[in-house]
Amino acid sequence: TFQRGGPQPLTARTVHVRSELRRHLDLVRDQGYATQVGELHNDSACVSVPIRSAAGTLVAGLVLSGHINHFHLMFHHIDALRNQAAHLSLLLS
């Protein structure tokens, strides 16, 4: 577990050092989206955006995932994902 030394890496790219994970989470918070390239599986990648309640609480995420070779295509859809997440957030209000 993370409390006993951190999560075990799933691939060579998995963020598993506590300080690195903290920096990664801070970046995600600042950007408003997250990316993953080869961290869960060597050949997978994704981009994700938060879906929040009317109170601003994180309730879900909207994710676009696929083969790592297509990450550049996924990355170009972040604005569309954000728009859809905002629409879904309104439905939760």
Domain hosting 11: range is: 2-91
Looking at residue 1, its pLDDT comes to 45
Mean per-residue pLDDT of the chain: 91
Contact yes or no for 56/36 (Cβ under 8 A): no
Predicted confidence (pLDDT) per residue in 35-68, tens digit = 999 999 999 999 999 999 989 999 999 999 999 9
Q: Taking Cα atoms as reference points, which of 48, 90, 86, 41 lies closest to residue 67? A: 41
CA distance 18 to 9: 12
Report the CATH number that the domain containing residue 7 is assigned in CATH: 3.30.450.40
How far is it, in rounded angstroms, from Cα 84 to Cα 49? Answer: 9
Number of domains in the chain: 1
Instruction: Answer whether residue 27 shows pLDDT above 60.
Output: yes
pTM score, two decimals? 0.83
